[in-house]
Amino acid sequence: MTVTPGVDDGTMDPTTTATITGLMRRQHGHVSRDQLLRAGMPRSTIRRRQHRGDLVRVGRRTWRAASTPASAEGRVLAMCLDVDGIASHWTAAGLHGLVPLRPVVDVTVARRRSVWIPPEVAAGVRIHTSTDLPPGDITSVGGVPTTSVARTLMALGALVPRELEQRDLAELLSQACDGGLATERWLFWLLEQRRRRGRIGTIAFEEALAARVRLGPTESWLERETLRILEEAGLPLPRVQQRVERKGRFVGRVDLRYDQWPVVIESLGYATHRSRSDMERDTRRVNALQLAGLTVLQFSYDQVVRDPVSVVTDVAEAIGLAVPRAA
């Protein structure tokens, strides 16, 4: 067995060495004092390893093997080990790939525990407390104990509007569902469970989930932003990801389509036309949709983001409604 450098110098029995080596391999080279003691390493040996530089102190009671390079994930794990907590809130969202990892680490601990953080560490960690951390709400991401995607989204709901807008929470929820990290059914179940216990964040979470179901599962942020613009303008909302046929043959799947009017809306991101063949395929597709009797409106990223009024105006005209005054 390959031994993590700095763990075994011939003074510990093989079982202790193997246990500590396995822990460090699973934990990005990190280990807590409690884990070392439980594995059988004497306190005097811990002090000697630290003094010699084999163990680098990264918390109040957590060390990193000197041979292990520092990393963002390792730092998060070190904080979790140090306070016996779970990565949560923004940190959990970062580990799940919903947002970039932030410098400050969010960790949730059981409310019954008292946690003291040294001043030199306190600036880099934010401690949350909870009386309810069931096993089903905890998962492991790259070896880091982390709140599940659903629990993470609900925790972020508690930060509305202090740290994020309601629309941003709705976007993160849609991103999780579209990416296969969560399902609406599971999120609704969790909502009902947490609502009964009076958990904070459920109101914003429920609103974000309701927006998701009302608008339907889109395939891109640009589609959702287009829907948001139309909804805020007071226009009827089209259905998302609709199949179009002509004379019994499949023509294509469109981003947004109205049932009441023969109008479809396509959101064009920067990567939509990457080559001449892409442009030709899109042209043929638009022609086929028009031959099927549909009016095709295409909006670019810049138009949706920088000139939403024109989007509202064009859609209102296409469906034969007056342009809302807000536009």
Provide the domain count of the chain: 3
Do 250 and 210 share a structural domain?
no
Give pLDDT tens digits for 261-288: 999 999 886 554 456 776 777 888 889 8
pLDDT classification of 243: cutoffs 50, 70, 90: confident
Domain of 251: which CATH number? 3.40.960.10
- Model confidence at 163: pLDDT above 90: yes
Do 229 and 198 share a structural domain?
no
Output helix, strand, coil percentages for the chain, rounded to the nearest 5.
Answer: 45, 20, 35
Q: For residue 140, count other CB atoms closer than 10 A to its CB.
A: 11
Q: What is the pLDDT of residue 2?
A: 36
Give the mean pLDDT of 156-162: 91
Give pLDDT tens digits for 28-37: 888 888 888 8
Do 127 and 246 share a structural domain?
no
**Inside any domain, residue 5:** no
Q: What is the pTM of this model?
A: 0.64
Give the mean pLDDT of 108-135: 75
Do 96 and 159 share a structural domain?
yes
Do 59 and 78 share a structural domain?
no
User: Going along 13-104, which residue ranges are E strands?
Assistant: 30-32, 55-57, 62-65, 86-87
Do 85 and 158 share a structural domain?
yes
Least confident of 98-102, 125-129, 212-216, 281-285: 212-216
Which of the listed residues 215, 243, 269 is the one where a domain comes to its end? 215
Do 202 and 82 share a structural domain?
yes
**Inside any domain, residue 233:** yes
> Judging by DSSP bridges, how do beta strands 125-130 and 105-110 pair with one another?
parallel
Do 33 and 58 share a structural domain?
yes
Distances in Å between the Cα of 147 and the Cα atoms of 107, 174, 211, 242 are: 10, 18, 23, 34
- The position carrying tokens 């016996």 is 84
Do 84 and 48 share a structural domain?
no
Do 260 and 148 share a structural domain?
no
Least confident of 32-41, 51-60, 253-262, 274-283: 274-283
Domain of 128: which CATH number? 3.30.460
pLDDT classification of 10: cutoffs 50, 70, 90: very low
Rounded to 10°, the helix 308-318/221-232 angle is: 70
288-301 burial, b at 16+ Cβ within 10 Å, e below that, comes to bbeebebebbebbb
Least confident of 20-24, 53-57, 186-190, 320-324: 320-324
Do 195 and 103 share a structural domain?
yes
**Inside any domain, residue 174:** yes
**Inside any domain, residue 323:** no
pLDDT classification of 152: cutoffs 50, 70, 90: very high
Give the mean pLDDT of 295-315: 92
**Inside any domain, residue 9:** no
pLDDT classification of 89: cutoffs 50, 70, 90: very high
The whole-angstrom separation of Cα 308 and Cα 95 is 33
**Inside any domain, residue 8:** no
- Model confidence at 82: pLDDT above 80: yes
The end-to-end CA distance of the chain, in Å, is: 69
> Judging by DSSP bridges, how do beta strands 138-141 and 144-147 pair with one another?
antiparallel
Q: For residue 20, count other CB atoms closer than 10 A to its CB.
A: 23
Do 43 and 16 meet the contact criterion of CB atoms below 8 Å apart? no
Give the mean pLDDT of 285-308: 90
**Inside any domain, residue 125:** yes
**Above pLDDT 70, what percent of the chain?**
85
Query: 72 CB contacts (<8 Å, ≥6 apart)?
Result: 101
The whole domain housing 93 covers 73-215
Which of the listed residues 215, 230, 265 is the one where a domain comes to its end? 215
Which of the listed residues 173, 188, 215 is the one where a domain comes to its end? 215
Give pLDDT tens digits for 170-198: 889 989 988 889 888 888 888 877 765 55
**Inside any domain, residue 244:** yes
Give the mean pLDDT of 78-83: 89
Least confident of 95-99, 112-116, 175-179: 112-116
Do 271 and 161 share a structural domain?
no
